[in-house]
Amino acid sequence: MERNKCIFLDRDGTINVYKGLISKPDDIELIDGAAEAIKLVNKSEYLCIVISNQPGVAKNLYSLEEAGQINEKLMKLLNEKGAYLDDIFICPHHPDKGYPEENSEFKIKCDCRKPDIGMIEMAQDKYNIDLSKSYIIGDSTVDIQTGINCNIKTVLVKTGLAGSDGTYRVCPDYVANNLYEAVNLILRGELNGFIKAE
C-alpha cells in the first residue's frame, strides 16, 4: 500500500495569530490566507495535520478539555472557509516544576513535546505517513528543530515568532512569508521560488 504524504503544521503563529498564551477559544483568530492555504492542502495529495505544544495544560492555565475547545474553534473557523484539518495532536506536558497550581499529572518529561518527535511518530503510525515525502511548517525554531529531529523538510514562516524565539540554532530548509506562500510553493514544487535559508 502506498504511504501518505503529510504537511505538518504548527498552530499558534502559523495558522492563527500569535498572541502569547492562547487560553480560550475566543483567542483564536486566523492569519490571513491560512484557511485558503489549508484548503489547497486538502485538495492535494498531502494530509494536513497540526502538531502543537500546549504546556498551559500542565501549568493549569487551562484544562485539557478547554484545550480541545480551543482546537474546535480553530476547526470551526477553518470549516467556515471550506478547509479542514485531518487531525490535531497536542502535547499537554511541561517538564519544569514550580508553577503555581500546576497539574502534576502533566508535569512530566514526555517524548511528545516538540522538538521531540512523539507527535510526528503518533501521526506516522496512525496515517501510514512517509516522512521522506513530508514537510513541517512553523514559526519557531522549535518547529524547525522538530523537523530536523525526524529528518523531514522544514519551512519557517515569517508570521508569529518568525524564528525570533532563538531557542535552537537551526537553519530551516526554506523560509516563506506566511502559510499561504509556504503551501503554494510546496504544492507547485517551485522550490526556486523559496528564499533558500542561509
Q: Which residue lies nearer to Zn ion by CB, 105 or 130? A: 105
Among residues 10, 86, 116, 143, the one annotated as catalytic is: 10
Q: Is 86 a catalytic residue?
A: no
Q: Is 10 in the site for Mg ion (CB under 5 A)?
A: yes
Q: Is 139 in the site for Mg ion (CB under 5 A)?
A: yes
Q: Is 13 in the site for Mg ion (CB under 5 A)?
A: yes
Q: Decide which of Zn ion, Mg ion, none touches 163; Cβ closer than 5 to 8 Å per partner kind.
A: none
Q: What interhelical angle do 64-80 and 34-43 show, nearest 10?
A: 80
Q: Decide which of Mg ion, Zn ion, none touches 173; Cβ closer than 5 to 8 Å per partner kind.
A: none
- Answer yes or no: is 112 a known binding residue: yes
Distance (Å, rounded) from C-alpha 85 to C-alpha 30?
A: 14
**Pair 156, 186: CB distance under 8 Å:** no
One symbol per residue from 102 to 131: x for binding Zn ion (CB under 5 A), - otherwise; what is it? --------x-xx------------------
Q: Where are the alpha helices (DSSP H) in the chain?
A: 34-43, 64-80, 118-127, 141-149, 179-188
Q: Is 59 in the site for Zn ion (CB under 5 A)?
A: no
Q: Which residues contact 158 (CB under 8 A, 6 or more apart)?
A: 139, 175, 176, 177, 178
Q: Is 111 a catalytic residue?
A: no
Annotated active-site positions, please? 10, 12
